[in-house]
Structure 1
Amino acid sequence: MKKVTIQDIAAEMGLSRNTVAKALNGGLVSPQTRHAVVQKAWQMGYNKLDDKLVEEVKSTYRRANTGTILVLFNHMESAFWTRALAGISNAVNDEGYRMQLHVVDEKDKDGESTGSLIADDVKGIIFLSVFSVKFVKAIGRKKLPMTFFNSPVNAKEYIKLGDVINVEGFYSMSTLTEYVIKQKGCTRLAYIGFAEGSRMIQARYLGFLNACTQNHIQLDERMQFTRPANNLSFSYAMVEEVVKDMAYIPDAIICEDDDVAKNVSLALLQRDSKAVKKMVITGFNNTLETDFFKSDILTVDVRIEEMGRRLVKSVIDKVKCPTMDVAFTTIATYPKF
């Protein structure tokens, strides 16, 4: 049998090797992250676990005998997802359940592989990523309560199967963009974000367009980057290409979230180190590190840990009362200036 390494655990969880090593060796990580990493390491057969950590996981399993809440996920590491998982883990533990995190293999398009792994003690499922309708329907055949964070632009099939929880984007992005126009005096605006990638991100783009329309801003179509080349996300490599190929340096770049805003700042630093200092850049989620070199990025605060708790409450309410109507919930967000 292949020896399990820290890198194996990191790959399975979508975390960095450094984060996993810290969690297993007493480093500075949140209690929720530490518990989730130790639990996954134990499940995978990692043989260098401290005996006290092993006993901690075992006692949690003995204590939490009400069942498991399965979290399906396919994202790479970012501060947003780390905090969301921390909120979910905390809430699941408070309710007396266990949390099982499963990183879905990108090859499992129809959900058959994932569905076959769902254990008998799973009581409900949280989808922390937007999966295809085909995948979701396959998991839905398990007849378990399901709650989705975010959804495709057309959420019709999702809402048939379970609760959908989004964070508000239209009004916050509109407010943020209007601030950039009126208070920062910006008129040449670029946008970078996958407008059709999900319902939540589309709302942010529509909020941006609304503010531009209301303030009589004529947008240059060449500066609206709304579909990544891979139809998945704007990675650093893709953002770098976008910034390098821009016809000109705009007054402001509005980004779908803080990860893209961070990538834009780094890419612009490579293109024009002077421009990046005075450029107005906006993100969303309020997850940028305080020591990031561009400290004036505007953003929108999302109470991410509480959002995680809301996801857990939704699915456990359905566990306790299966006849409850499905709900489409939007959680408030808060522009920061």
Structure 2
Amino acid sequence: MTAPTPRHKRATIFDVAAEAGVSRGTVSRVLNGEPYVSAAAREAIEAAIAKVGYVRNTAARNLATQSSGAIALIVHEPDSVFIDDPNIGAILLGANAALSAADYQLVSLLIDDDRDSQRVTGYLGGGFVDGAIIVSAREGDPISQAIADLRLPAVMIGRPDNQSQLPWVGIDNRGAARRITERLVATGRRRVGMIAAGLDRDSGRDRLAGFRDALGASFDDTLVSRQPFYTYAAGVAGMAELLRAAPDIDGVFAASDAVAAGALEALRGAGRRVPADIGVVGFDDSTWALRAQPALSTVRQPAGQLGARAAELVLDQVRSGGRPADGALLATEVVWRDSA
């Protein structure tokens, strides 16, 4: 029978001190970036760390400081949407960059069903993260309420009506949707519909409201296809529904670029030319917009900046122990391309 391989002993701060010929306290001051250590002692300690292979025990340090050094990014979407939506990736990268600059680790938590909500709620209550960023929160979302109850530093990307206790960062979805719809109508379109999605969250409701604002008395609810998620499949299904309801439709506002890309596919299958027969606009200015044929007219939202700003607001709370009272709105712009 083969004997088990002995476990390698982890180098300690005492090993570093012995190798460098200094006290443990001097090593600790160097590790913590404190002053009052001579250049010679600092050089000897750095050489000793390299020689003995010392790696700082972050878990022990966090236990002593009552800090995990981690921030959760909670995404309340099905797995398919997480993969399909480039905005989520951009938010994640923006948040990660801001957290990395502050020496914090990003922890991604995905919620697809009620069981996930219970699991994540328990995780958050266990002290494994110092704060949270919530993406795609919905009405009645138990996670945002649990975070408020835990008094965990947190920021929501978006503004659900049911959770006023948490600070937020977002965009003016309603105003942006109104502006791009008005521009679509200004191209001479007379029968304009919308593929609305995500109506269980503020972004989806606000984009539909902005579309309604732009059309005013011309708004026709029968020209709105309501879909559950911001996905390519929703665009295919929604466009097919609108073509059945109104074969003479000549303009479509899709609630996201992924939805718009699906709509373009459905229109190609139906033999409809874009933009000659029908103009299509999206929302996000994601990679879907540039890959689409023709390239999408859309609303550019700063997804990466949303993630970075949310991370900064969470870190401000972690450091101060308080919560900002207000949210932050970031600017959007209409980007006009060939699809309309």
Q: Is the TM value for this pair above 0.5?
A: yes
Does the 8 Å CA contact 1:127/1:148 hold for their aligned counterparts?
A: yes
| 2:178 is the counterpart of 1:174 | yes
Does the 8 Å CA contact 1:61/1:98 hold for their aligned counterparts?
A: no
Superposition TM-score, scaled by structure 1 size: 0.71
Partner of 2:29: none
Structure 1 residues 102 and 309: CA distance shift in structure 2, 3 A: same
Structure 1 residue 322, shift from structure 2 partner: 2.4
Partner of 1:306: 305
Structure 1 residue 267, shift from structure 2 partner: 1.6
Q: Secondary structure at the match of 2:280?
A: strand
- Give the aligned CA root-mean-square deviation in angstroms: 2.6
What is the aligned residue count?
266
Partner of 2:204: 201
Partner of 1:106: 113
Q: Residue 233 of structure 1: which of 229, 232, 254 is its match?
A: 229
- 5 Å matches for 1:40-189? 67-75=69-77, 76-77=82-83, 78-108=85-115, 111-118=117-124, 119-131=126-138, 132-152=140-160, 155=161, 157-160=162-165, 162-182=166-186, 184-189=187-192
Structure 1 residue 148, shift from structure 2 partner: 0.7
Structure 1 residues 301 and 61: CA distance shift in structure 2, 3 A: farther
Equivalents in 1 of 2:284, 2:230: separation in Å?
16
Structure 1 unaligned blocks of 5 or more: 1-57
Equivalents in 1 of 2:136, 2:308: separation in Å?
16
Structure 1 residue 68, shift from structure 2 partner: 0.5
Partner of 2:262: 263
Structure 1 residue 61, shift from structure 2 partner: 6.5
Q: Residue 243 of structure 1: which of 239, 245, 250 is its match?
A: 239
Structure 1 residues 59 and 256: CA distance shift in structure 2, 3 A: farther
Equivalents in 2 of 1:279, 1:266: separation in Å?
13
Q: Secondary structure at the match of 2:259?
A: helix
One-letter amino acid of the counterpart of residue 302, structure 1: Q
C-alpha deviations, 1:68-102, integer Å up to 9, x for none? 10111133212111111110111110111111111
One-letter amino acid of the counterpart of residue 281, structure 2: T
C-alpha deviations, 1:140-193, integer Å up to 9, x for none? 3332111111233xx2x4121x212221122222221111112x1111101111
Equivalents in 1 of 2:75, 2:221: separation in Å?
34
One-letter amino acid of the counterpart of residue 221, structure 1: D
Structure 2 unaligned blocks of 5 or more: 1-54
One-letter amino acid of the counterpart of residue 172, structure 1: A
Equivalents in 1 of 2:258, 2:289: separation in Å?
14
Structure 1 residue 252, shift from structure 2 partner: 0.7
Does the 8 Å CA contact 1:126/1:146 hold for their aligned counterparts?
A: yes
Structure 1 residues 197 and 99: CA distance shift in structure 2, 3 A: same
Structure 1 residues 235 and 293: CA distance shift in structure 2, 3 A: closer
Partner of 1:29: none
One-letter amino acid of the counterpart of residue 240, structure 2: K
Q: Which moved more, 1:326-335 or 1:93-102?
A: 326-335
Q: Secondary structure at the match of 2:197?
A: coil
Structure 1 residue 279, shift from structure 2 partner: 2.2
Equivalents in 2 of 1:104, 1:251: separation in Å?
38
Equivalents in 1 of 2:306, 2:106: separation in Å?
16
Does the 8 Å CA contact 2:90/2:303 hold for their aligned counterparts?
A: yes
Structure 1 residues 287 and 235: CA distance shift in structure 2, 3 A: closer
Q: Secondary structure at the match of 1:69?
A: strand
Q: Secondary structure at the match of 1:125?
A: strand
